Amino acid sequence: MAEVKNRSVGKGKEYIYDSKSDLNSRLADRVVSDLEQAIAARGKASLVVSGGGTPAALFAELNTRQLAWDKVWVTLADERWVPATHEDSNERLVREKLLQNEAAAANFVGMYTGEATPAEGEVACDSQLQQIPEPFDVLILGMGGDGHTASLFPGADELEKGLDMDSGRRVLSVIPKHAPHGRMSYTLPALLNNKNAILLITGDSKWDVYQEASASGTHDAMREMPIRCFLHNNEVALDVYWAA
């Protein structure tokens, strides 16, 4: 069973589990329920996911669940600017771990469009992502040890544009200073346009980073750890799911 807490910052809740397997099972229940409600309400649903090792087990759990997957549109919160065949591609992870079994019927829209650089691919990527129903019905974010989420990296030259709530941008090309590959990322205002937002983290080190991020929501602090833009948001709830 999860220990559920109301956080003292933002509008979200914390769901703390005894094991990763329990977390992934319960979170899969939640995601399927949210998507079912969206399909019932508007005939289709959107699921925006993050890459990395943490969500892989969740994807494996989700792909066994019965759902009208043919009415679900799936995309990524961000992508490394590499072909889908590359070992570092988030699209490759989603195709191999999520879009299998029952979920093979889902409609996937990737971010990588083949241009030489992410900057050159911004227009094509934005056009491609217009297929994704908005607001997002379910958004699953991750968090790096530096407090970044999606490809909104602290210290990146593009960070201010990515966090600008008045930019009118859906996506932004990013060149991280301390991570491999150029990136394409949804911007903060685009990510905040959601109905159900979830931060999925595991392990003690990520819990410590999350606690640090929860401590301050000032303008400067948000730039130091961009996940704070979600944790300290009083309009859009971010639920946190964690297991050691």
In a domain, residue 169? The reply is yes
Q: Compute the average pLDDT of residues 98-117.
A: 98
Residue 85 backbone dihedrals phi, psi, to 5 degrees? -85, -10
Domain that holds residue 167: 3-194+204-243
In a domain, residue 199? The reply is no
Q: Is the pLDDT of residue 140 over 90?
A: yes
Percent residues over pLDDT 70 in the chain:
100
In a domain, residue 153? The reply is yes
Residue 87 CA from chain centroid, whole number = 19
Cβ(188)–Cβ(163) below 8 Å: yes
Q: pLDDT category, 71, cuts 50, 70, 90?
A: very high
Q: Measuring CA to CA, which residue among 40, 75, 71 is closest to residue 171?
A: 75
In a domain, residue 213? The reply is yes
Q: pLDDT category, 1, cuts 50, 70, 90?
A: low
Token pair 């991570």: residue: 179
In a domain, residue 174? The reply is yes
Q: Is the pLDDT of residue 9 over 80?
A: no
Structural domain total, the chain:
1
pTM here?
0.97
* CATH code at position 79: 3.40.50.1360
Q: How far apart are CA 37 and CA 131, in angstroms?
A: 20
Residue 208 buriedness (CB in 10 A; 0-12 / 13-18 / 19+): exposed
What local confidence, expressed as pLDDT, does residue 4 receive? 85
Q: Measuring CA to CA, which residue among 37, 98, 91, 93 is closest to residue 68?
A: 37
CB atoms within 10 A of CB 180: 9
Ramachandran sector of residue 36 (left: φ over 0; alpha: ψ -120 to 50; beta: rest): alpha
